[in-house]
Structure 1
Amino acid sequence: MRKVSFMLAVMVLVLSLSSVLGNTFAKEQEFLRGKSVNVNVMSYNIHHGEGVDGVLDLERIARVIEEGEADIVGLQEVDNHFSERSDFQDQAKWLANRLGMFYTYAANLDYEPLKEGEPRRQYGTAVLSKYPILKSENHLLPKIGNTEQRGLTEVTINVKGNPLRVYNTHLSHVTSAERQIQMEEVIAITEKSKGPKVIMGDLNAAPESNEMKLMYANYIDAFANQNDAYTHPAENPTMRIDYIFTSNKIETNGDRVIDTLASDHLPLMTTIVVTEDVDSAMIQALVERFEKEGEFKNAQAARALNTHLTAVAQYEKKEAGDKVVKHMKGFKVLLDAQKKSKLISDKAYNELMASTDAMIEGWK
């Protein structure tokens, strides 16, 4: 991958956010390992739920997502107890509950409440998913001067056994120079992860702009063959500033822009085909999830598995396939021992064993 060097004295902060995985959001699923899965992905700047008519209506936003049959949605301009303009609602949570989806929220602006004891007032982005969200982290992006703070949300989603990294962002609308340094940081962050990736959001830049050259050098524009995929303004769109990019391993089809006046932007969608072998990070995330759900008898059992996987990750980085396979077979022995000693539930054992088998098969 190519990277453009742009020297500027800026401080980049990283804000870690926990994914909110309420059991009421999605039904328990049985995952098939390493199978190809079609996933409908949407990127949508919702303008805090306010439509072209100036009316605040989150239900209208929910219907757009629902009627589009979106499986994973990257939302921008999302309020969380922010102000009267959105009735101080937690908009991401409301939409997740309404649609029966998992979600994570990323606050790029975080203010004190108007009254003591009330929730903090936040503004940022959100990711909704019909599939379980395993990890979520918000990276605050560099900026120039006293401009609005922007961020890149990094989410790991378990799509029927396939780890999918989803990145959602809303870049600066102020200057090309500011977007340039933000785009450099986006590329630096996204290139650290392996496997299939989706990078989407309101990039506030035209396809031919200088700052977009970085994206086109590293990722595939799902709408590359649709130069008229305009998304703003919604009533008479003449600008293409919202995007869905994918890594090389992902196929896309059915690219479409949805005509709606529920926001000042139009949502865009594509269907991606996800297929990928499981890696140690994916299995480690499963261990962490099962530990939170109480599927281990004690913390030591989960820690033993994670310690083993941390060692395997080093061999993955070196692409030492033989050693990865050898140590993952050792991981299976450890799982068997924990099951025999009743340190792990049948649910966790079966899921982790299936993941391990898929990973071994992939490295073979």
Structure 2
Amino acid sequence: MRGGMRIITMAAAAITGLGVATTAVTAQEYAGRELRVVTFNIQHGYPADRKPCDATTSSCAGPDLDRIAERIRKLNPDVVSLQEVNRDHRFGNCVDMAAELGKKLGMDHRFHRNAYQHPTHKCGAGKNEDTGNAILSKFPITGTGKTDLPKDVPGQDKPRTLVWASFTVDGKPMVAYSLHISHLYQDARIPQLKAALASVAQVNKAHGNAMSVLSGDFNAAVDRADGDQGKITEGKQVVNLVTDAGFTDGWQAAPKHTSQPYTHKADNPTIRIDYVFAGPSFTVTQAGALNTRASDHRPVAVDLRVK
């Protein structure tokens, strides 16, 4: 059985009654600490078997955050990275999804928007139908921020953002990142990823070269059931940029897997586009993708051990 802490990437509400050690620990005491990290693109709260509401829909069932929360709870994460999260959106029941998931899971949360459809204020005055990324954490979040990624790149469909949250684990600083880059063209993904990695380096340095995890939907697959070598090459270009920056692909590094690697589409996945990249402070011990249709992506959980 795994001991210690676990990390999953997702947005959440404020934690209550959760303490974190503030006293110093020795390197020997700290080494071996375990964490679980999860990343999950929640498709604006809509299950794979439910068409998301949009301007062309006269009526629809709406999102199902209870189902998403139940799947995350099943993974029992410490930190979660979430993508395609809505806040005050008419097609999302006008709720703050990160806050709602945080409340349901008893986790702290931070959300930052990357785009909003338009300021209709249908959910109330001054509410602009935000969409973005979020971080959920079992540890109280002490800092947060975002980096807006390049918009003026070929094939860019909408604004994209890197979101981060910092917290303390056994007296040591840690930063978790949530990233979602373009699904359209490689010429859009690469500039966005380079900008995100530059920001990661700056934020980590500002936090004393903190332990870090970069997770999210990278829309590039090194593992594909169809064996498309062109697409696999594109996927390797994306992964290599991240590993050249000092991170490790959690799936590739794991000595044990609890599932097949594919994450999209959830009902019959054939590609792996959702990643957890571990910083140099960690050794990867296990990885798996949960078989669920709570979204059109399957969540990925990676277990880490502090070196």
Give TM class, smaller chain: 0.7 to 0.9
Alpha-carbon distance, 1:120 to partner:
2.5
Pick from 69, 81, 84 the counterpart of residue 77 of structure 1: 84
- Corresponding position of 2:168: 158
- Corresponding position of 2:293: 261
Alpha-carbon distance, 1:30 to partner:
3.5
Equivalent AA in structure 2 for residue 44 of structure 1: F
Unaligned regions of 5+ residues in structure 1, if any? Answer: 1-18, 276-364
Alpha-carbon distance, 1:258 to partner:
0.7
Query: Aligned pair in 2 of structure 1 residues 271, 211: CA closer, same or farther (>3 Å)?
Result: closer
Query: Aligned pair in 2 of structure 1 residues 114, 95: CA closer, same or farther (>3 Å)?
Result: same
Secondary structure at the residue paired with 1:153? strand
Moved over 3 A (4+): 19-22, 28-32, 225-228
- Corresponding position of 2:37: 41
Pick from 105, 113, 128 the counterpart of residue 111 of structure 2: 105
Give TM-score, length-normalised by structure 2: 0.77
- Corresponding position of 2:281: 249
Matches within 5 A, 1:209-248: 209=234, 210-218=237-245, 219-225=247-253, 228-248=260-280
Distance 2:78 2:71 in 1: 12
**Is the counterpart of residue 195 in structure 1 residue 202 in structure 2?**
no
Deviates more, 1:258-267 or 1:49-58: 49-58
Alpha-carbon distance, 1:228 to partner:
4.7
**Is the counterpart of residue 206 in structure 1 residue 233 in structure 2?**
no
Alpha-carbon distance, 1:274 to partner:
3.5
Matches within 5 A, 1:45-60: 45-54=41-50, 56-60=63-67
1:46/1:76 contact within 8 Å kept: yes
1:21/1:132 contact within 8 Å kept: no
Secondary structure at the residue paired with 2:178? strand
Secondary structure at the residue paired with 2:288? strand
Distance 2:242 2:167 in 1: 22
1:47/1:76 contact within 8 Å kept: yes
Unaligned regions of 5+ residues in structure 2, if any? Answer: 1-10, 51-60, 223-232
Q: Which whole-Å deviations, capped at 9, do the CAs of 1:35-74 have from their partners, x for residues lacking one? A: 2431111000011111112062100110111111011000
Alpha-carbon distance, 1:109 to partner:
0.8
- Corresponding position of 1:134: 142
Q: Percent identity, aligned pairs only?
A: 29
**Structure number with bigger Rg:** 1
1:141/1:151 contact within 8 Å kept: yes
Give TM-score, length-normalised by structure 1: 0.66
Query: Aligned pair in 2 of structure 1 residues 161, 113: CA closer, same or farther (>3 Å)?
Result: farther
Distance 1:26 1:41 in 2: 22
Matches within 5 A, 1:258-337: 258-274=290-306
**Is the counterpart of residue 29 in structure 1 residue 57 in structure 2?**
no
Distance 1:148 1:159 in 2: 35
Q: Which whole-Å deviations, capped at 9, do the CAs of 1:145-173 have from their partners, x for residues lacking one? A: 66200000122121121211111110011
2:12/2:105 contact within 8 Å kept: no
Q: Which has the higher helix share?
A: 1
- Corresponding position of 1:88: 94
Distance 1:20 1:214 in 2: 29
Distance 2:64 2:12 in 1: 23
- Corresponding position of 1:6: none
Deviates more, 1:256-265 or 1:200-209: 200-209
- Corresponding position of 1:123: 131
1:231/1:265 contact within 8 Å kept: yes
**Is the counterpart of residue 171 in structure 1 residue 181 in structure 2?**
yes
Query: Aligned pair in 2 of structure 1 residues 82, 186: CA closer, same or farther (>3 Å)?
Result: same
Secondary structure at the residue paired with 2:243? helix
Aligned length: 255
RMSD, aligned CA: 2.2
Distance 2:105 2:164 in 1: 22
1:26/1:102 contact within 8 Å kept: no
Alpha-carbon distance, 1:211 to partner:
3.0
